[in-house]
Structure 1
Amino acid sequence: MSNQAEEMQEQWTSLVQNMNEAAAQSVEQNMDASAAFMESWGDAMEDSMLEQDDLAAGVEGYSNAYEVWMDAADQIFERTTDAAEGEDVALTEFRDIWLQSANEAFKEVMGTSAFAAANGQLVNAMMDMQEQADEMTEETLEDLGMPTQSDIEEVGERLVEIERRQHSVETKLDNILEQLE
């Protein structure tokens, strides 16, 4: 084998090795991300007070999402094998497989009644926290002698009432002036 052919073979081997390492790293990062998502989702489902049907739907959604991720891992493995065997495989294919799988997996999870119930609980908890924060703000401003939201709303209501009365008085004065003319 000539020196030039050996160099080309080394470059090709290096390129394939780099591509395989990048694909393996991508697979590992994506699997870690999906595992972290599934773990946090599982923790959220565990901590929430869901109905039995919602919980069953959540487990089914989780299972379906897991299958989607495993199918994606199989596709990545197949395309990596194809690339190692000399087939021209674009790196964007790997990205597309993971993006499509992520979308499908999230749909599987987010489309469940468990996800909707957990989100409802989260929104209620956030609204309760917001209400508590508003009450604390009101109390703090009151203690500092500053106007609170309630004070400002009361002043606004009084201004509207004064404007209404003023308009009524103006209308009556206009009627009296018309009758005097």
Structure 2
Amino acid sequence: MVTTVDKAGVDRAGFETWVTPRLPGLLRFAYLVTGSRDAAQDAVQGALAAAYEKWDHVSTRAQPDQYVRRMIANSHVSQWRRIGRREFSVAEPRGGSAADSAEQIAEHDAVWRMCVGLPPQQRAAVVLRFYEDLDYREIARVLDISEATARSHIHRALITLRIQLTSEDLP
């Protein structure tokens, strides 16, 4: 295999080989964390640009996927803090297949509307736990927090979601 190194000394072929199969998953993750396709694309682009610049460091990590996911989540939280406000959006259903039903789309939309109201760190923890199926230790590593904090974020998010569900069920 021929290694292509750019002017900055980065193994371009190695980076492209790593990122190509992971890009759809990273975009899905970013979309679930940010709630917006545009913000997701921006977060992934920024994280991948940063990962490319320090690919020698990132590629030697035990789990570069989690490292880049943490970069995406941190990028979104940092942007949210800089702006000082949250942008809310409603998830758009994906291209309709024959199997999609109106009920599934409505349920997906309802779940997303509830999740988008969570604080960014809690939403990221919920996404990692229930969409990416990571355990608490992995969530802590991705978000660069302690395992206890990861558990706390998920616990608090679930309490908030239960309250929302209970209040919606009341007449």
Same topology, TM > 0.5: no
Relative contact order higher in (CA < 8 Å, ≥ 6 apart): 1
Per the normalisation by structure 1, the TM-score is 0.24
TM-score using structure 2 length: 0.25
Structure (1 or 2) with the larger CA radius of gyration: 1
The structure in which a higher percent of residues are helix is 1
